[in-house]
Amino acid sequence: MANNNGNNRRNSGYTPNDNFNWEEFDMVSSGREPVPRRRRQNASSHPARQSQAQDASYNTPSRRRGSGGSRKRKKKQLTEKQLRTRKRVRLVFFVTLFIFIIVTSGITMGMYAAVSREIKDMNIQNLALNYSSFIYYEDESGNPQELEQLQGEDNRIWIDSSQIPQIMKDAMVAIEDERFYKHHGVDIKRTVGATGKYILAKMGIGNASYGGSTITQQVIKNITNEKENKPSRKIKEMMRAVALEKQLSKDEILTMYLNIVFFANNCNGVEAASNVYFNKSAMDLTLEEAASIAGITQFPSQFDPFVHPDKNIEKRNLVLGKMRELGYISESEYTQAAASDLVVSNAHKHTGGRITSYFVDQVVNDVVNDLVEQKGYSSDFATQQVYNGGLKIYATLDPDIQRIMEDVFTDTSNFPRTGKGAQSAMVVMDPYTGKVKGLIGGLGEKTDIRGWNRATQAKRQPGSSIKPLSVYAPAVDTGKITEVTVFKDEKITIGDDKWSPKNAYDGFLGDMTVKEAVARSANIPAVKVLDTVGVSTSFGYMQNKFHISTLVDGDKNYSSLALGGLTQGVSVEEMAAAYATFVNSGKYIKPYTYSQVLDSSGQVLLSNSANSTQAISAASAYIMADLLYGVVNNGQYGTGRGAALNSGISTYGKTGTTDDDCDKWFVGFTPYYVGACWYGFDTPASISAAGVSGNPTVTAWKLVMDKIHSSLNPKELTKPSNVVEATVCEFSGMLATSTCNSTRGYFVEGTQPKSFCDSTHASKATPSPSPTPSVPPSVIPTAAATATPSTGGTTGGDVHGTTGGNDTPNHQPPSGSGGGNDLPIVSEPIGGGSDTTPDDEPSGGGDDDITDIHAGSVEE
176 is catalytic: yes
Q: How far apart are CA 524 and CA 516, in angstroms?
A: 12
Neighbours of 772 (CB within 10 A): 12
Amino acid at residue number 601: S
DSSP 52-65: HHHHHHTTSHHHHH
Q: Are 425 and 440 in contact (CB under 8 A)?
A: yes
CA-CA-CA-CA dihedral for 429, 435, 441, 444, to nearest 10: -70
Q: How far apart are CA 214 and CA 22, in angstroms?
A: 76
Q: Are 578 and 560 in contact (CB under 8 A)?
A: no
Phi-psi region of 352 (alpha: psi -120 to 50; beta: other; left: phi over 0): left
Q: Are 423 and 443 in contact (CB under 8 A)?
A: yes
Relative to beta strand 144-149, strand 134-138 is antiparallel
Q: Is 653 helix (H, G, I), strand (E, B) or coil?
A: strand
H or E stretch at 194: helix 188-202
DSSP 341-399: ------------PPP--HHHHHHHHHHHHHHHHHH---HHHHHHHHHHB--EEEE---H
Q: Which residues contact 676 (CB under 8 A, 6 or more apart)?
A: 426, 427, 572, 573, 575, 576, 579, 665, 666, 667
Find, among 529, 431, 534, 442, the residue nearest to 481 by Cα: 529
Amino acid at residue number 34: P
Residue 467 backbone phi and psi in degrees, to 5:
-55, -45
Choose, from 133, 213, 464, 585, the residue flagged as catalytic.
464
Neighbours of 547 (CB within 10 A): 18
Q: Are 723 and 619 in contact (CB under 8 A)?
A: yes
Angle at 30 between CA 27 and CA 33, to 5 degrees: 45
DSSP 485-517: -EEEE----BTTTTB----SSSS--EEEEHHHH
- Where helices occur in 541-590 by DSSP H, the ranges are 558-563, 572-583
Q: How far apart are CA 572 and CA 676, in angstroms?
A: 6
Q: Are 331 and 314 in contact (CB under 8 A)?
A: no
Q: How far apart are CA 812 and CA 787, in angstroms?
A: 13
Query: What is the sign, positive or negative, of the torsion defined by CA atoms of 447, 448, 452, 456?
Result: positive
Find, among 680, 161, 233, 212, the residue nearest to 415 by Cα: 680
Q: How far apart are CA 551 and CA 777, in angstroms?
A: 31
Cα 332 from chain centroid (whole Å): 57
Relative to beta strand 267-268, strand 155-156 is parallel
Angle at 455 between CA 453 and CA 456, to 5 degrees: 75
Relative to beta strand 594-598, strand 604-607 is antiparallel
Residue 496 backbone phi and psi in degrees, to 5:
-65, -30
Find, among 259, 21, 225, the residue nearest to 126 by Cα: 259
Cα-atom radius of gyration of the chain, to the nearest Å? Answer: 44
Q: Is 802 helix (H, G, I), strand (E, B) or coil?
A: coil
Which active-site residues does the annotation give?
176, 464
